[in-house]
Amino acid sequence: MRKFIDKIKPSFEKGGKFGFLHSTFDAFESFLYVPDTVTRRGSHVRDCVDLKRIMIIMVLALVPAMLFGIWNTGYQHSVAFGLNDWGFWNMVGYGLVKVIPLYLVSYIVGLAIEFISAQIRGHEVNEGYLVSGMIIPLIVPADVPLWMLALAVAFAVILGKEVFGGTGMNIWNPALLARAFLFFSYPSMMSGDTIWTAGATRYLAEGKAYACGNGLVDGFSGATPLAHPSVEGLQAAGTNVWDLISGVIPGCVGETSVIAILIGAVILIWTGVASWKIMLSSVVGGLAIGYLGQAVGVTDLPGYYQLLMGGFAFGTVFMATDPVTSAQTETGKWIYGFLVGALAVTVRMFNPGYPEGMMLAILLMNTFAPLIDHYVIQASMGRRAKKIKTA
């Protein structure tokens, strides 16, 4: 293997036959082998951690949510269409049929753009998209048309990341941009009651769908818990707290199960890949506004419901903590996380038009993260100047 790579390598180097594919070759080579580059200047030894490792841990942390999402896609479908004879594997099989195309589109479109832009710049291909590409299918409804997803991914990668200079330079979380693009460009496909259950959209439009049994069961609503955010509303829909925690509810592919997300959170916090400060403060922020809203009568739901519904948990764990677009200073992380949680719940409670406040809250706070950092640093400088004056 190594010999083969060494043999074909010269033709991909500058001036070689395929010199224009240099970045592409390099990406595959460094994917297979840790490069043989040695330190030139500065520290002669380096820690063996690199961004690839950090990204792969992130991907690993997303796996439980993805697996649960695959099953839940099938489960929701079977419930909606009254397929009482479906077992576990039927549901997983159906989920795979629905989710794998999302992944294919996400990775093929996203990575193609990454490779091309790396090629144009002559940089190494950055591994950042491995994570974005993993997240995007988990935050869209399973029924989203693939061409829309492709457009959204292209938008997110080009305008969200590459125009700024690639991973590490972007202002907004690319995965969320993809979702925001879908949400604002095709609102009918991203909100409403019927889009969350795989197969329902097509059935309603065309009167048939893959494995649709005898049609939708009577009383099918398909609405996510966010559509009726009150104790009564949830009771009427037959959703209890345990459903919210375990995730057997309609919603985006990967965001429903708080348990699966928590497994991911434990991995991320233990390995230090994502900031626990952001997660904790976001939860605190969400709870604070949630209970405040209950106290003043905006909603009758206890505050902790807000953490369990919709994309709050997923956003808090996987997207608010994106190290590039979140606050960079440690104090800033507390402020940033708190505001993400607080804003998400605020949007939910006061704007029925956008029931999923998490996406908007994170994007907004991404925008303000540099400002938060700026003030944190100014304050720190001021403190230091004062300390020295008194000393």
Partner 1 sequence: MSNNIDLKKGLNIPISGSAGLKTRKAIVPDVVAVKPTDFRGLKPKLLVKEGDKVLAGSPVLADKESPDILFTSPVSGTVAAVVRGDKRKLLEVRIKADASQEYLNFAVGNVSSLDAAQIKSLLMKSGLWPAIIQRPYGIIANPAIQPKAIFVSAFSTAPLAADTEYILKDEFANLQTAVNALAKLTDGKVHVSLNSANASGSVFHKLENVVFHSFSGKHPAGNVGVQIHHISPIMKGDTVWTVSPVMLAAIGRFLNTGKYDMTRLIAVTGPKAIEPAYVKGLPGISMKDISEFYGNSASGIRFISGDVLTGENVGEDGFLGFFDTQVTLIKEGNEHELLGWAKPFRTKLFSTSRTYFSWLTPKKTYDMDTNLHGGPRAFVMSDVYSKVLPMDIYPVYLTKACLANDIDKMEEFGIYEVLEEDLALCEYVCPSKIEIQSIITDGIALMMKEMA
Q: Which residues form the interface with partner 1 (CB under 8 A)? A: 1-2, 30, 32-54, 56-57, 124, 126, 128, 165-169, 270-273, 275, 323-324, 326, 328-330, 377, 380-381, 384, 388, 391
Nearer to partner 1, 35 or 352 (CB): 35
Nearer to partner 1, 261 or 324 (CB): 324
Compute the least distance from the CB of residue 180 to partner 1, in Å: 22
Question: Rounded to an integer, what distance in angstroms lies between the CA atom of residue 103 and that of residue 109?
Answer: 10
Nearer to partner 1, 14 or 41 (CB): 41
Helix axes 88-121, 22-32, angle to 10 degrees: 130
Nearer to partner 1, 165 or 302 (CB): 165
Compute the least distance from the CB of residue 384 to partner 1, in Å: 6
Compute the least distance from the CB of residue 68 to partner 1, in Å: 23
Nearer to partner 1, 275 or 306 (CB): 275
Compute the least distance from the CB of residue 255 to partner 1, in Å: 24
Compute the least distance from the CB of residue 18 to partner 1, in Å: 20
Write the DSSP assignment of 102-117 as a string of letters: HHHHHHHHHHHHHHHH
CB 254 within 8 A of CB 308: no
Q: What is the DSSP letter of 273?
A: S
Contacts 24+ apart (CB under 8 A), 156-165: 156/110, 156/132, 156/181, 157/109, 157/110, 157/113, 157/114, 157/129, 157/132, 158/113, 158/117, 161/128, 162/113, 162/114, 162/117
Question: Rounded to an integer, what distance in angstroms lies between the CA atom of residue 303 and that of residue 39?
Answer: 52
Question: Rounded to an integer, what distance in angstroms lies between the CA atom of residue 272 and that of residue 257?
Answer: 22
Compute the least distance from the CB of residue 259 to partner 1, in Å: 23
Q: CA angle, corner 251, sides to 246 and 253, nearest 5?
A: 85
Nearer to partner 1, 13 or 330 (CB): 330
Nearer to partner 1, 82 or 323 (CB): 323
Question: Rounded to an integer, what distance in angstroms lies between the CA atom of residue 151 and that of residue 145?
Answer: 10
Q: How many residues does the chain have?
A: 391
Compute the least distance from the CB of residue 379 to partner 1, in Å: 12
